[in-house]
Amino acid sequence: MNRFILALTASMMTASLAVADVTEADLANDTASTGDVLTNGMGRHLQRHSPLTTLNKDNVKNLVPAWAFSLGGEKQRGQETQPIVHDGVMYITGSYSRMYAIDVKTGKELWQYDARLPEGILPCCDVVNRGAAIYGDKVFFGTLDARIVALNKDTGDVVWNKKIADYKAGYSYTAAPLIMDGMIITGNSGGEFGVVGRVQARDTETGELVWDRPVIEGHMGMLNGEESTMTGTLNATWPGDMWKTGGGATWLGGSYDADTNTLVFGTGNPAPWNSHLRNAGKPTEGNSGDNLYAASRLGIDPATGEIKWHFQTTPREGWDYDGVNEVVAYEDRAGNKRWATADRNGYFYVLNREDGAFVSAAPFVKDITWASGIDETGRPIFVEENRPGDPAASADGNKGEVVFSSPSFLGGKNWMPMAHSPVTGLFYVPSNEWGMDVWNEPITYKKGAAYLGSGFTIKPNYEDHIGSLKALDPDTGEIKWEYKNDAPLWAGVMTTAGGLVFTGTPEGEFIAFDDETGEKLWTFQTGSGIVGQPITWEQDGEQFVTVISGWGGAVPLWGGEVAQKVNYLNQGGLLWTFRLPAQLASNN
């Protein structure tokens, strides 16, 4: 059997343990409903903002641990989950594709599911999982062997288990799924293996595929079991057959905007990394070498999977600047409906929510070398001499010219989600100031093998910090305040209407900042590096905050000189829940 249940036998299950089913209305109302956290992003808009004010700048000093939960065993790798909370039960995922149900009052485990992964999985960047989804009487999550699993939320029993793609070709799945209108929407991971990114919709009851949308031009979509339409136009921006292994993995999941009825997914790097192999015709003329729709944001019709609009952040991408970073729906100060996204390439973009049209862009990290700016159409102004060289032009054909590029391929911001505050109007962006020596190499595609065609070494840009939490005004691009951290930042961020910004550091600190000034108001040492995503909710008149601690992720594996700098950090696996006692809520 492909499951492992602990801590709760069938004889222990009673009606009192069963929790209420989750409806579409519940998901749509997630942000306003402060007793639950039902969606990744604390709302399908991904703002990661709570309207709770019980915990605030004056009393956050009184926040104390309520309980801690150990993930146990030897599987202590990066823990990047965002908890889901519903009707007194918390659901988290762990490294190596595990899920736990926990009593939120006591921290006691109710059940555990272990996916029992096969030999030969090919995860790119640690064995992480970023969270679950809940709907009806089920909880859902993805696995490192590229499957999506539906479990009974009360027992942990498997309801259905469906294959997303072939893990032997390099596919995997690490994102939290997205649910809307009775469908579960997923992407895929594996862009470093030349797989093709896709967005898929399944029926939550049966797991049957409703539609499938590949994100690289030339591939055919599917709707209700039949071919639908081709993505893009064959060979318009890809040469020869390279579109067949074109990358564009949709590995971070998506957001949903009810106002425009649009799913928005980001797409990863084109494959291979060596951009000189992917030029079609003369790449400086038109968009012949842009390699659509890699390194892009896509607006997708949730009923059919058709692409409604696209915005490509890094055309002719050659630095592994994935375009997957979350796209947040918000309203600017003038009441305009906008999308915001902080790209791996170092620029913060604002788009029109109706059609994805470019509004503005501003750098949110320093020392960007690959482009001198963004033009009025949203297209980067490339600095061509800072593109890694063509190995075919070298003396031996084995290694192109080495260039220093900033940000590094791990990005000005990577997967770690930013947060928005409707109170201040600001975005709070976890960023990193680093660069890389990078070069191109010859490469040919082989199923299940790395398909990069590049080499690299990451280096810090500054001696005094790498990580930088920035409060950014999306209307002006101005950085209002900055918190510098010695190690890279790799954790999610959360804001509250109480004027607080929460995030964690690899050094193990869980921190609350003043949202207006950046002053550090409270901190707690969790014992391991934090790369998880905080949440908050209220229960019995008190406000709670939860975050998972457990160092890992891509930095220790891919970080070059940076990885050596932080190799002293300890791994772990503890879920911490904090409480503001009612008697201290007004204690200033």
Residues known to be catalytic = 320
Q: Is 15 helix (H, G, I), strand (E, B) or coil?
A: coil
Torsion of CA 446, 247, 553, 5, to 10 degrees: -80
Paired tokens of 172: 């995997």
CA angle at 379 for the pair 374 and 381, rounded to the nearest 5°: 55
Residue 559: which residues within 8 A CB-CB, separation 6 or more? 410, 458, 488, 566
In a 10 Å sphere around its CB, with 0-12 CB exposed, 13-18 middle and 19+ buried, how is residue 225 labelled? Answer: exposed
DSSP state of 449: S
Round to whole Å and give the CA distance between 242 and 196.
11
Residue 96, token pair as written in the block: 């190596």
Q: Which two tokens stand for residue 105?
A: 């009052």
How far is Cα 166 from Cα 143, in angstroms, rounded to an integer? 12
- 127 and 77 in contact (C-beta within 8 Å)? yes
Which residues lie below 8 Å from residue 59, measured CB to CB, with a gap of 6+?
Answer: 580, 584, 585, 586, 587, 588
| SS3 assignment, position 483 | strand
**Cα separation of 167 and 159, whole Å?**
22
Give the separation between CA 561 and CA 141, rounded to whole angstroms: 34
Terminal alpha carbon distance of the chain? 55
Chain-centroid distance of CA 267 in Å reads 11
- Note whether 270 and 284 are within 8 A (CB): no
Determine the Cα–Cα distance for residues 57 and 518; give it in Å rounded to an integer: 11
Q: Pairing mode, if any, of strands 403-405 and 138-142?
A: unpaired
Q: Which backbone phi and psi does 33 adopt, to 5 degrees?
A: -85, 95
Amino acid in the structure at residue 518: G
Using DSSP bridges, classify how beta strands 49-50 and 494-496 pair: parallel, antiparallel or unpaired.
parallel
Give the H/E segment covering residue 564: helix 561-565
Return d(Cα 318, Cα 272) in angstroms, integer.
Answer: 9
What are the E-state strand segments in 240-357? 254-257, 262-266, 296-300, 307-312, 328-331, 337-342, 347-352
Sequence-distant (≥ 6) Cβ neighbours of residue 76 within 8 angstroms: 95, 550, 571, 572, 573
Question: What is the distance between the alpha carbons of residues 248 and 7, in angstroms, rounded to a whole number?
Answer: 40
CA distance 221 to 215: 9
